[in-house]
Amino acid sequence: MVGGFGLVGAPLTLIDALVERSDATDLTIVSNNIGEPGRGLGKLLRQGRIRRGISSYYTSNPEAVAAVNAGEIDATLLPQGTFAEAIRAGGAGIGGFFTPVSAGTLLAEGKEQRVLDGVPHVLELPLRADVALVYAARADRLGNLWYRHTARNFNPLMATAARTTIAEAGEIVEVGELEAESVHTPHLYVDALVERA
């Protein structure tokens, strides 16, 4: 899982480290999109290291659209609210949920469907990951995270839905410098902390 909405709130330093210092291939990426051409997750795409993408949209990166159309990566498209709820369900340990979104469309093919209160619904399964890479504007040395405005996006949800969460922070402060009420992700969800380069 990789946080961010486009490049906003994306852990760009962690993505760069993955691109430059790792030989991981055949990756399944759960992210709102696959970066932009040559930026963010777009770098991994150019290296041919993404096998599958689970996203809300691909059109911010025409290279990702071309890769899907050429059969180079497998794409799973989820409506954005469904995408967010599937990640939340993964973090909360929920086995799935029914939603009317996508009922009667190609996105519902092969999924369990039920009529609830007279409205067709589709069963969506939770999303979980081995690793989540998230970005926060500030963190304390314990790993408590605070996100700034819209850069919060999917980051807090993803931190709860992965076995290992690596957080990139724009600034790391001493314990006690973040007010408890302003912590968006408690440190118990964070396994490693890196300051943005």
Helix (H) or strand (E) holding 171: strand 162-173
Residue 142: phi and psi, rounded to 5, are -80, -25
**pLDDT string in tens for the chain (197-residue length):** 999 998 999 999 999 999 999 999 999 999 999 999 999 999 999 999 999 999 998 888 999 999 999 999 999 999 999 999 999 999 999 999 999 999 999 999 999 999 999 999 999 999 999 999 999 999 999 999 999 999 999 999 999 999 999 999 999 999 999 999 999 999 999 999 999 98
Strand 50-55 with 74-77, pairing:
parallel
Domains along the chain?
1-77+128-197 (3.40.1080.10), 80-124 (no CATH)
Q: CB count, 10 Å around CB of 196?
A: 15
DSSP classification of residue 161: S
The pTM for the full model equals: 0.95
Sole residue written with tokens 């709130």: 9
How many Å from the N-terminal Cα to the C-terminal Cα in the chain? 21
